[in-house]
Structure 1
Amino acid sequence: MFAGKAARLRLSNGGVVPLELVVEPWAQVHQVLPEQTCVVVTHSASTDGSWSGTVRANEPFQVGHRSDAVTVWVNGDCFHLTDEEGNAIDAIDVADWQCPAQGSAS
């Protein structure tokens, strides 16, 4: 059983054109359609609840944006995209392969 932590970051596109979502460090590119909301979910296997933050320790995400794109740096061990109800979006991601919450495929 997975004993770590999960974190969720909700992203909404309130614009009229698709928004590029880049998830790093995996360089995964996804599209968030107009009026669509997606949730970036990450997991940390650390039982003490810590995250390996890039700017500050213990932060699960770092976000940057441009007019047509959002880049999310994930500081967990993996990531998944879901809708607001938790249903998988783009379920086959490179980052899923080593996810401790799903049982890693070594």
Structure 2
Amino acid sequence: MSVGREARLVVGNDGEEPLDLMLELWGDVHRIVPGETCVVVTHTSSESGAWPGTRLGDEPFEVCHGPTWLTVWVNGDCFHLYDRKGDEIEPYVYGGCPDRQPSA
């Protein structure tokens, strides 16, 4: 991808019960077990680098949570979900995401 930006959001479960991670607007759900950490990566192909879905200004993510769930609104064109080592979890590609590992 020659234009645009990449953003990363690290999400972990420090609790004692599983946590449902919902990735919107795709409605994808991943269960985060206690002690697990995930990295949500999104991209924007906009020449201006703006995040297309944002409701609160120029933000790549919006997060809401409850005791057993976490919803991440991904405001980019797509998302990938990785573990902390950089391995893709449930290899989904939504919206034409580039096939690449998250940046360090």
Into which bin does the TM-score normalised by the smaller protein fall? Answer: 0.7 to 0.9
Give identity over the alignment, percent: 46
SS in 2 for 1:41: strand
Residue in 2 that maps onto 1:5: 5
Residue in 1 that maps onto 2:95: 98
* Matched letter for residue 38 of structure 2: C
Per-residue deviation, residues 6-59 of structure 1 (Å, max 9, x unmatched): 100000100111100000000001100100000011010013221124322210
C-alpha distance 100-12 of structure 1, shift in aligned 2 (>3 A): closer
Q: How many residues align?
A: 98
* Matched letter for residue 98 of structure 1: G
* Matched letter for residue 47 of structure 2: T
TM-score under structure 2 normalisation? 0.87
SS in 2 for 1:39: strand
Q: Return the alpha-carbon distance in structure 2 between the equivalents of residues 18 and 50 of structure 1.
A: 34
* Matched letter for residue 41 of structure 1: V
Q: Return the alpha-carbon distance in structure 2 between the equivalents of residues 47 and 12 of structure 1.
A: 32
| Stretches of structure 2 lacking an aligned partner (at least 5 in a row) | 100-104
TM-score under structure 1 normalisation? 0.85
| Stretches of structure 1 lacking an aligned partner (at least 5 in a row) | none
Residue in 2 that maps onto 1:15: 15
Contact 1:65/1:71 (8 A) holds in 2: yes
RMSD of the alignment, in Å?
A: 1.3
SS in 2 for 1:88: coil
The CA deviation at 1:97 is 4.1
Q: Return the alpha-carbon distance in structure 2 between the equivalents of residues 67 and 74 of structure 1.
A: 21
* Matched letter for residue 34 of structure 2: P
